[in-house]
Amino acid sequence: MLITSMLIISMVSGRMICSVLICWLLLVARGDGKPTEQRTRVHQEEPLSTLRHDDKQNFDYDHEAFLGQDEAKAFDRLSPDESKRRLSIIVDRIDSNKDDFVSEDELRLWIEAVQSRHMFEDVEHQWSEFDLNQDGLISWDEYRNVTYGSYLDGPLTETEYNYTHMMARDERRFKVANRDRDMSADRQEFMAFLHPENHEYMKQVVVQETMEDIDKNGDGFIDLKEYIGDMFTAENGLEEPEWVASERQQFSEFRDKNQDGKMDREETLDWILPADYDHAVAEAKHLLHESDSNKDGRLTKEEILNKFDLFVGSQVTNYGEALLRHDEF
């Protein structure tokens, strides 16, 4: 159903976190929670796998986190030799100055380019579905009719989800993304609508949506109970997992900066979109640290290919998809 697919697009920030929110939607539908699973709102640190991140044992976490489960399975179709061959071509592209080494900065720039390409491709993939009159713009009416058409056309049944609030929320986000206020989005504006966390002028609407989700008592703040409740729902008879106590400490020591027992909008912004964390930089440092066997601060093609199982599960390969595109190799 189209509304179901667009619900995920509307509420999240792109493909990288879809699997997490699908699980969240299923939990909401059942009305219960899994007491041992932790969910986070931090957009640049979203845990995309429930597996433990331990590279000493395996790279399953990296594969699920940066590939998604479906793409990770698709990668399994490639033999190690074919994976290395295609990764070798990618390495040549990353080495922008052609000095036969890949630096941390080259890795960062490549990852940033891959991230941007992912967003552009996401817009192009959906564009024709919403630009009904093919005028090169997507109006709010077009988006609303395609996304919520079945809801608008008839009365709700007793068992059907009420999409009124969701539609109003989408309209508010659409208005913010639409910088010239004509209620028709060009590609850049539609990208901001789909991926608000990657656009500076959209950050406040991300904060507002987050607070609306978590602020259960409607006082305009997120207190400790609401903060924990968003990530963890206890079940009768089961002990609270250790990470809950750690999150309480995080709230008291780092989230609630003014120590008033609750998070305001600015504190929420610092939590979900931390200014001091750059995802591309962190991933580049991780790849360099894990692959730089001689510790000279740069990577040779041989070092990268020796760690091919790490790289094909990283953003360097566009969540692994680049390895599966025959036209690029």
197 vs 292, residue with greater confidence: 292
Residue 294 CB coordination number (10 Å): 9
**pLDDT recorded at residue 158:** 55
Q: Could you say which DSSP state residue 136 is in?
A: S
Strand locations in 72-217, DSSP E? 102-103, 138-139, 184-185
Residue 259 CB coordination number (10 Å): 8
User: Is 90 exceeded by the pLDDT of residue 153?
Assistant: no
pLDDT in tens, 212-247: 999 999 999 999 999 999 988 877 667 888 899 999
pTM confidence score: 0.69
**pLDDT recorded at residue 37:** 45
**pLDDT recorded at residue 44:** 42
**pLDDT recorded at residue 133:** 96
320 vs 81, residue with greater confidence: 81
What the block records as the tokens of 300 is 């040779």
Q: Which residue, chain included where needed, has tokens 């071509």?
A: 89
Q: How far apart are CA 100 and CA 115, in angstroms?
A: 24
Distant-in-sequence contacts of 322-327, Cβ < 8 A, 24+ apart: 322/86, 322/90, 322/114, 323/75, 323/78, 323/83, 323/86, 323/87, 324/74, 324/75, 324/77, 324/78
52-61, 162-171, 306-315: segment of lowest average pLDDT: 52-61
Under 8 Å between Cβ of 68 and 313: no
46-60, 73-87, 229-243, 285-299: segment of lowest average pLDDT: 46-60
**pLDDT recorded at residue 12:** 37
The pLDDT confidence band at residue 327, using thresholds 50, 70 and 90, is low
What is the separation, in whole angstroms, between the first and last Cα of the chain? Answer: 35
The pLDDT confidence band at residue 55, using thresholds 50, 70 and 90, is low
Q: How far apart are CA 222 and CA 228, in angstroms?
A: 10
Q: What percent of the chain has pLDDT over 70?
A: 68
What the block records as the tokens of 178 is 């639409």
Across 63-70, average pLDDT: 42
319 vs 264, residue with greater confidence: 264
Name the residue among 274, 270, 244 with its Cα closest to residue 258.
Answer: 270
Across 94-116, average pLDDT: 91
Quick one: CA dihedral 292, 294, 298, 300, positive or negative?
A: negative
In the chain, where the domains are located: 88-221+264-324
